[in-house]
Amino acid sequence: MESALIAIFWIVALLYSVVIHEVSHGAVAYSLGDPTAKNLGRLTLNPFKHLDMFGSVLLPLLLVVLRSPFIFGYAKPVPYNPLNLRDRKYGAAKVAVAGPASNIVLAVLFGLTLRFLPDIFSSSLVPDLLGIVVILNLFLAIFNLFPIPPLDGHWLLLTFLPSGFTAVRTFLYRYSFVLLLIFLFFIFPLLIPLVRGLFQLLTGIGF
């Protein structure tokens, strides 16, 4: 019963973490002059507005069934029109960084809550549930900051990349799928110690 509850909480926490991530993109775009997400009703925390049938439902459930040590998923990207942004130079980067920034804020808030949690909750499931939120959001933030399309980090790279490096831009987009697979299978697993370190820094405990 306890393991089933934790599995369900993983999925719910993941769903709302990615929803907040996507809404943050849209909210920053709206603040910079683009109403696309607002006009489409995507500036809401209602998860049904953001669900991707595979990424938000089937993939997390499949990982639960396969007893994966980590549950992952994604929501439908919030659309925006960069031509509407008042800040044409840095607007795309600001919109991109908003998603990972929201995950970092969530990780810090829940991590500090776990760190200063009263001892009365120490024997309950509360520490485990708070820890799940911290781990999820640390992974989401670090994952999305990598400079590979379609991840948010590639917008940061392209924004600050000198104009003479068009070959790098072309390479990233041409081989984005291959680069993403390499990142997922060979690089991302190496980041687990980083997540562990950040988790311990925020919460004062290891995992």
Handedness of CA 51, 29, 84, 90 (dihedral sign): negative
Residues 58-69: tens digit of each pLDDT: 777 776 677 665
Q: Residue 51 pLDDT > 90, yes or no?
A: no
In this prediction the pTM is 0.89
* 93 vs 187 pLDDT, higher one: 93
Catalytic residue among 22, 24, 92, 142: 22
Mean per-residue pLDDT over the chain, rounded: 88
Residues 106-116: tens digit of each pLDDT: 999 999 999 99
Residues 2-11: tens digit of each pLDDT: 777 887 888 8
Cis-peptide, bond into residue 150, ω within 30° of zero: yes
Per-residue confidence at 87, pLDDT binned at 50, 70, 90?
A: very high
- Per domain, the residue ranges of the chain are 2-203
The pLDDT assigned to 140 comes to 92
The pLDDT assigned to 174 comes to 94
The pLDDT assigned to 68 comes to 63
Structure tokens at 35: 């109403």
Name residue, tokens 């949690």: 117
Q: What value does the mean pLDDT take over residues 28-53?
A: 90
Following DSSP, what letter does each residue of 41-90 receive, concatenated? T-SS--GGGT--IIIIIIHHHHHHHTT-SS-----PPPP--GGG-S-TTT
Highest mean pLDDT (candidates 7-21, 25-39, 156-170, 182-196): 25-39
Q: Is 2 a catalytic residue?
A: no
The pLDDT assigned to 120 comes to 76
